[in-house]
Chain A
Amino acid sequence: MPNLPEPEIAREWLQTMILIRRFEERAGEMYARAKVGGFLHLSIGEEATIVGSARALRETDYLISTYRSHGHAIVRGTPPENVMAELFGKVDGCSGGRGGSMHMFDLSRRFMGGYGIVGGNLPIAAGIGLASDYRGSDEVTLCTFGDGASNQGTFGETLNLAALWRLPVVFMVTNNQFGMGTSLRRHSAVTDLQRKGESLGVPGLRCDGMDVLDTHRVLADAVQRVREERRPVLVEAVTYRFRGHSMADPEQYRSKEEVAHWRERDPIPAFGNQLVAAGIIDEGERERIDAQAIERVDAAVAFADASPYPAPETLYDDVYVLDAQVRGRYSTTTTPPPAPSRPSEIDGSDEISHQITTALQAGENASVGEDAS
Chain B
Amino acid sequence: MAEMRYREALNAALREELRRDERVLLMGEDIGVFGGAFKVTDGLLEEFGERRVRDTPISENTIVGIGVGAAMVGLRPVVELMTINFSLLAFDQIVNHAAHIHYMFGGQVSVPLVVRMPQGAGHQLGPTHSHCLEALFLHVPGLLVAVPSTAADAHGLLKTAIRDENPVIFIEHESLYGVRGEVPDGDEHLVDFGRARIAREGSDVTIVGISRMAVTAERAAETLASDHGVNAEVIDPRTLRPLDLESIITSVQKTNRCVTVEEGWPHSGVGANLAALITEQAFDDLDAPVLRVTGADIPMPYSKPLEDISYPHEQQIVQAALTTLNLNGAPRAPARR
Using CB atoms and an 8 Å cutoff, list the residues of chain A in contact with chain B: 62, 93-99, 103, 105-107, 112-113, 115-117, 120, 122-132, 134, 153-154, 157-158, 160-161, 164-165, 317-321, 323-328, 330-335, 361, 363-364
Do A126 and B66 form a contact, CB below 8 Å, given A99-B104, A105-B108? yes
Cross-chain contact A320 with B142 (CB below 8 angstroms): yes
Cross-chain contact A131 with B69 (CB below 8 angstroms): yes
Closest to B105 in A: A105
- Which B residues from 57 to 102 make CB contacts under 8 A with A? 57, 59, 61-75, 77, 92-93, 96-97, 101-102
Cross-chain contact A130 with B61 (CB below 8 angstroms): no
Cross-chain contact B107 with A125 (CB below 8 angstroms): no
* Alpha-carbon distance A331/B249, docked complex (angstroms): 14
Stretch at the interface among B11-19, B220-228, B238-246: B238-246
In the complex, whether B337 has a CB less than 8 A from a CB of chain A is no
Could you jot down 25 A-B contacts, CB within 8 Å?
A: A105-B105, A105-B106, A107-B105, A107-B108, A112-B69, A115-B97, A120-B65, A123-B93, A127-B66, A127-B67, A127-B70, A130-B69, A131-B75, A154-B62, A154-B65, A157-B59, A320-B144, A321-B110, A323-B165, A324-B164, A325-B166, A326-B194, A331-B242, A361-B277, A363-B246
Question: B164 CB to closest chain A CB, in angstroms?
Answer: 5
Cross-chain contact A326 with B106 (CB below 8 angstroms): no
Report chain A residues within 8 Å CB of B51: 134
Do A124 and B65 form a contact, CB below 8 Å, given A325-B144, A333-B277, A334-B245? yes
* Alpha-carbon distance A131/B23, docked complex (angstroms): 9
**Those 5 A-B pairs whose CB atoms lie nearest each other, nearest first:** A127-B69, A123-B65, A331-B242, A96-B106, A318-B107
Cross-chain contact A113 with B110 (CB below 8 angstroms): no
In the complex, whether B109 has a CB less than 8 A from a CB of chain A is yes
* Alpha-carbon distance A220/B164, docked complex (angstroms): 39
* Alpha-carbon distance A285/B110, docked complex (angstroms): 44
Q: Which of B25, B67, B72, B192 has the most CB of A within 10 A?
A: B72
Chain B 125-142, CB-CB to A under 8 Å as 1, else 0, gives 000000000000000011
Known interface pairs A105-B109, A331-B241; 8 further A-B residue pairs with C-beta atoms within 8 A, sorted by A's residue number: A117-B97, A120-B93, A124-B72, A130-B66, A158-B66, A161-B66, A321-B110, A334-B245
Cross-chain contact A157 with B192 (CB below 8 angstroms): no
Report chain A residues within 8 Å CB of B92: 117, 120
Closest to A113 in B: B105
In the complex, whether B279 has a CB less than 8 A from a CB of chain A is no
Q: Which of A93, A154, A335 contacts B281 (CB 8 A)?
A: A335
Cross-chain contact A325 with B105 (CB below 8 angstroms): no
Question: A124 CB to closest chain B CB, in angstroms?
Answer: 4
Report chain B residues within 8 Å CB of A364: 194, 242
* Alpha-carbon distance A291/B277, docked complex (angstroms): 60
Question: B97 CB to closest chain A CB, in angstroms?
Answer: 6
* Alpha-carbon distance A324/B109, docked complex (angstroms): 18
Q: Which of A97, A134, A327 has the most CB of B within 10 A?
A: A134
Q: Which of A99, A127, A317, A320 contacts B105 (CB 8 A)?
A: A99
In the complex, whether B193 has a CB less than 8 A from a CB of chain A is yes
Cross-chain contact A127 with B194 (CB below 8 angstroms): no
Do A160 and B59 form a contact, CB below 8 Å, given A105-B108, A128-B72, A131-B69? yes
Cross-chain contact A103 with B69 (CB below 8 angstroms): no
Cross-chain contact A128 with B69 (CB below 8 angstroms): yes
* Alpha-carbon distance A128/B111, docked complex (angstroms): 12
In the complex, whether B56 has a CB less than 8 A from a CB of chain A is yes
Closest to B66 in A: A127
Report chain B residues within 8 Å CB of A335: 281
Closest to B97 in A: A120
In the complex, whether B216 has a CB less than 8 A from a CB of chain A is no
Do A325 and B65 form a contact, CB below 8 Å, given A95-B106, A103-B104, A107-B109? no
Using CB atoms and an 8 Å cutoff, list the residues of chain B in contact with chain A: 25, 51, 54, 56-57, 59, 61-75, 77, 92-93, 96-97, 101-110, 141-142, 144, 160, 164-166, 192-194, 241-243, 245-246, 249, 277, 280-281
Q: Which of B54, B96, B144, B241 contacts A120 (CB 8 A)?
A: B96
* Alpha-carbon distance A51/B74, docked complex (angstroms): 28
Chain A binding surface, main DSSP class? loop
Q: Which of B70, B141, B166 contacts A131 (CB 8 A)?
A: B70
Question: A334 CB to closest chain B CB, in angstroms?
Answer: 4
Cross-chain contact A160 with B194 (CB below 8 angstroms): no
Report chain B residues within 8 Å CB of A325: 144, 160, 164, 166, 192-194, 242
* Alpha-carbon distance A27/B165, docked complex (angstroms): 35
Cross-chain contact A154 with B57 (CB below 8 angstroms): no
Question: B66 CB to closest chain A CB, in angstroms?
Answer: 4
Cross-chain contact A127 with B71 (CB below 8 angstroms): yes
* Alpha-carbon distance A154/B66, docked complex (angstroms): 11
Report chain A residues within 8 Å CB of B241: 331-332
Report chain A residues within 8 Å CB of B144: 320, 325-326
Report chain B residues within 8 Å CB of A95: 104-106, 108
Report chain B residues within 8 Å CB of A165: 54
Cross-chain contact A123 with B66 (CB below 8 angstroms): yes
Cross-chain contact A161 with B67 (CB below 8 angstroms): no
Question: A302 CB to closest chain B CB, in angstroms?
Answer: 22
Do A319 and B102 form a contact, CB below 8 Å, given A128-B72, A131-B74, A154-B65? yes
Closest to B77 in A: A127
Report chain A residues within 8 Å CB of B193: 325-326
* Alpha-carbon distance A90/B277, docked complex (angstroms): 34
Do A318 and B62 form a contact, CB below 8 Å, given A123-B68, A124-B72, A127-B71? no
* Alpha-carbon distance A124/B98, docked complex (angstroms): 10
Closest to B101 in A: A113
Cross-chain contact A130 with B194 (CB below 8 angstroms): no
Cross-chain contact A161 with B72 (CB below 8 angstroms): no
Q: Which of A98, A160, A320, A334 has the most CB of B within 10 A?
A: A320
Closest to A62 in B: B73
Cross-chain contact A98 with B61 (CB below 8 angstroms): no
Cross-chain contact A157 with B105 (CB below 8 angstroms): no
Do A326 and B97 form a contact, CB below 8 Å, given A153-B61, A164-B57? no
Cross-chain contact A319 with B103 (CB below 8 angstroms): yes
Report chain A residues within 8 Å CB of B280: 361
Closest to A318 in B: B107
Do A126 and B194 form a contact, CB below 8 Å, given A103-B104, A116-B96, A327-B242? no
Cross-chain contact A125 with B106 (CB below 8 angstroms): no
Cross-chain contact B68 with A127 (CB below 8 angstroms): yes
Q: Which of B64, B72, B102, B160 contacts A320 (CB 8 A)?
A: B102
